[in-house]
């Protein structure tokens, strides 16, 4: 961790990976002077916010030039728990904004090229005047409890033997609570109530916002849809299967359940 006030990090990304300095043995976000080595101007980047009183920027590296001086590009999953929270959150924001910048280039109304808005995080069509904001796709993630047990499911896209809480994207016209009820019903055939907000997590792969909830079983026996979900079961806190790592809000939800039910044991 580098909290030297003279250090002003810059977030350079290529192919969804962040440029980090590995020369000290621990990955750190390089100083802004490195942007000059790549011939990049902050005017072409996006402001992420201040750190130690100085604005930090996100910039895309497009060339194939290899980074110098013990630097390399690492995926953000590898940097979770390695960078401090402030820098990690900035890297997540950088990934989301630069991905939007790369993929949102033409007006979705008339097909004309877009230009960046001067003052806000948006792009403008000079032909029809439409304004395009970065897309954020809300998805719910929900831990369902039944007495002392938690509902965990194996999704077909998961690594082998991994079980987690249920998740799904919000559809037009739904409240987040509607999404929770529909997803749980569709994926495992269970009705839930007492839906409570837990927390949220930006998930820039590519543009999700994960919104976490807890809920209680109301009715129905588990019947996995055998499409997205291949198996689902009730587990106690002392008999859990393989669960996700600490990176995700799904793990935070499961840890909340474990803490609640293992207390005093």
Site residues (CB under 5 A) for Zn ion?
Answer: 107, 109-110, 112, 125, 127-128, 130
C-alpha angle 106-116-32 in degrees, rounded to nearest 5: 125
Tokens 């998930």, residue located: 203
Nearer to Zn ion, 41 or 131 (CB): 131
Six token digits for residue 123 = 């792009």
Beta carbons within 8 Å of 153's beta carbon, 6+ residues apart: 163, 164, 165, 166, 187, 188, 224, 229, 231, 232, 233
Residue 117 CB, shortest distance to Zn ion, in Å, is 14
Distance of CA 126 to the CA centre of its chain: 32
Q: Which helix (H) or strand (E) holds 93?
A: helix 85-103
Residue 98 CB, shortest distance to Zn ion, in Å, is 23
Nearer to Zn ion, 124 or 258 (CB): 124
Nearer to Zn ion, 62 or 112 (CB): 112
Among residues 39, 32, 27, 43, the alpha carbon closest in space to that of 10 is found at 32
Nearer to Zn ion, 110 or 121 (CB): 110
Beta bridge partners of 140: 168, 211
Residue 114 CB, shortest distance to Zn ion, in Å, is 8
Residue 131 CB, shortest distance to Zn ion, in Å, is 10
Nearer to Zn ion, 133 or 169 (CB): 133
- Concatenating the DSSP letter of every residue in 1-31 gives ----TT--B-EEEETTEEEEE-TTSS-BPPB
């Amino acid at each position: 961790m580098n909290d030297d006030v003279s250090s002003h990090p810059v977030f350079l990304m290529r192919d969804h990976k962040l440029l980090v300095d590995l020369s000290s043995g621990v990955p750190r976000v390089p100083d802004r002077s490195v942007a000059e080595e790549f011939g990049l101007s902050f005017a072409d980047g996006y402001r992420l916010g201040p750190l130690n009183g100085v604005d930090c920027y996100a910039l895309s590296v497009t060339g194939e030039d290899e980074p110098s001086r013990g630097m390399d590009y690492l995926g953000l999953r590898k940097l979770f728990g390695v960078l401090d929270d402030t820098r990690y959150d900035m890297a997540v924001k950088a990934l989301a904004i630069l991905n939007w910048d790369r993929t949102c280039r033409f007006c979705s109304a008339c097909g004309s090229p877009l230009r960046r808005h001067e003052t806000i995080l948006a792009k403008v069509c000079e032909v029809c005047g439409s304004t395009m904001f970065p897309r954020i796709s809300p998805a719910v993630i929900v831990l369902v409890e039944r007495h002392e047990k938690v509902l965990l499911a194996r999704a077909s896209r998961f690594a082998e033997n991994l079980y987690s809480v249920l998740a799904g994207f919000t559809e037009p016209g739904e409240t987040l609570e509607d999404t929770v009820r529909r997803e749980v019903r569709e994926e495992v055939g269970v009705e839930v109530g007492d839906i409570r907000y837990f927390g949220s997590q930006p998930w820039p792969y590519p543009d999700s916002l994960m919104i976490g909830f807890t809920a209680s079983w109301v009715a129905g026996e588990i019947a996995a849809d055998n499409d997205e979900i291949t198996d689902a079961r009730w587990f106690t806190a002392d008999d859990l299967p393989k669960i996700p790592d600490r990176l995700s809000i799904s793990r935070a939800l499961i840890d909340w359940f474990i803490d609640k039910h293992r207390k005093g044991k």
